[in-house]
Amino acid sequence: MEERIPCFEEGLLVNFFLCVEPDGLSGSGRSVPEWNSSPFGEDHGRIESSFAHGASNHCRRHKKLENRKKAMKRIAVLGSTGSIGRSSLDVIGSLPDEFRVSCLSAQKSVSLLHEQIERFHPSCVVVADRRAAAELRSRLASSSHHGTTMVLDGESALTEVVQRDDIDQVIVALVGFLGLQPTIAALRAGKTVALANKETLVVGGELITRLLRETGGTLLPIDSEHSAILQCFAGESRESIANLILTASGGPFLRTPTHLLSRVTSEQALQHPNWSMGRKITIDSATLMNKGLEVIEAHYLFGFPAERIQVVIHPQSIVHSMVEFIDGSIKAQLGLPDMKIPIQYALTYPARTHSRFRRLDFTTLPPMTFERPDLEKFRCLALAYEALRAGGTMPAVLNAANEVAVELFLDGAIRFTDIPAIIESALAAHDSVPADGLETLIAVDRETRQAVREEYTVHH
């Protein structure tokens, strides 16, 4: 007997066709137990995150998904000139029989985008900066791609291209709040979204989960921590999970005395010890705000409350995250600090495909260490937990204030230690309301940014 029920299987929340255990095997004839404490209600929709209760319970849906993978998948990469975007194209380029690039987007990196067009031949590209778009059109006019690659401009074009019929999956690798509206548009169009933009769920988690229930869209995480949790969920039941454990490198200032943090420069903060990332996320890693945003993201992806999402410092960045079970066992996903593996897993999910990228060699690893985060020293992580517990529009305020503060720090206008102070002030000044619509989130984001900039102007 087959029954359509909301459940979890290997990660993202989705309605899977699962086989109900017949009487005599389980003694009850019940289907896989539902995740009753999930914030998504009785009909979870499709943030894909599920737990299999034995191979017999997910075999049919698994086969359907695997069969779907056999056809060449058409991919849009939003933010293709950034760190995640470039790694995504490396993965796609390594599997030419499985994936084709249909669309690329960039803010204004014309030279690199032109190189990507020459390599992947997308049918369209979006350039947010209109002057840069004009320059790209001029370059393409004198190249072999004249007339074959359409160039759109403006940020609003991002929400248009993700709805195209020649796109099956959208990789959202945009920075900050910019990723929210294209993600919503892609899900409404029934596309599979591979999300590397954590701010989308931080700001619009309640909106996105409701949209997934309504549309049946599919959302997969690219962040290495959430991909690790997704992989650890395979073959497990909801009732067996005790806690999620996210790992954090601790950033460049893990061993820096607290009293010296006010003196650090943006150049020092941009020197991450393990990962090569964009400027904004690298500063977030230095403040541990990045981990705070991931805690909120994990809440919306997997349905766990704040008190069951833990953070541990792991300076070597080999264990990407862990799942603790009620019997005391712990599953961990390990790998080199390279985003290509979680990107490939999101593209091939639920199957795995051979990769040509670097492998982990245990015989050459340094000792691995773990410790508790210092929430006084790294106040941003504590603020993220507070915003998550408060709910409503508080996470949107947290994100907007952080984005402005990071921008000011990178411009040399404030000190490193001013970042958490600015965020805390913005949260204290905000009266939270339900995050029940895109217009509300856009307004809160705009008002918070304006208030932070005005306060900075007054005090400086």
174: closest CA among 203, 145, 146?
Answer: 203
Query: Per the omega criterion (within 30 degrees of 0), is the bond before 350 cis?
Result: yes
pLDDT in tens, the chain (460 residues): 333 323 343 334 433 222 223 333 333 332 222 333 333 333 334 455 433 333 333 444 455 455 554 679 999 999 999 999 999 999 999 999 999 999 999 999 999 999 999 999 999 999 999 999 999 999 999 886 666 899 999 989 999 999 999 999 999 999 889 999 999 999 999 999 999 999 999 999 999 999 998 888 899 999 999 999 999 999 999 899 999 999 999 999 999 999 999 999 999 999 988 877 789 999 999 999 999 999 999 999 999 999 999 999 999 999 999 999 999 999 999 999 999 999 999 999 999 999 989 999 999 999 999 999 999 999 999 999 999 999 999 999 999 999 999 999 999 999 999 999 999 999 999 999 999 899 999 999 999 999 999 988 766 6
Q: What is the pLDDT of residue 460?
A: 63
Is residue 241 a contact partner of residue 323, using CB atoms and an 8 Å limit?
yes
Domain ranges of the chain: 2-66, 73-222, 227-338+361-459
Q: Which helix H or strand E contains 128, and what residues bound it?
A: none
204, 435 in Cβ contact below 8 A?
yes
CA-to-CA distance for 57 and 20, rounded, in angstroms? 7
Question: Cβ atoms within 10 A of the Cβ of 166, count?
Answer: 13
Helix (H, G, I), strand (E, B) or coil at 436: coil
pTM for this predicted structure: 0.84
Q: Which fold has domain 227-338+361-459?
A: Rna Polymerase Sigma Factor; Chain: A (1.10.1740)
Residue 55 class from Cβ within 10 Å (0-12 exposed, 13-18 middle, 19+ buried)? exposed
Per DSSP bridges, beta strands 2-7 and 14-19 are: antiparallel
Give me the architecture of the 73-222 domain, per CATH.
3-Layer(aba) Sandwich (3.40)
Long-range contacts of 255-263 (CB under 8 A, 24+ apart): 258/374, 258/376, 258/377, 261/377, 261/416, 261/417, 262/415, 262/416, 262/417, 263/415
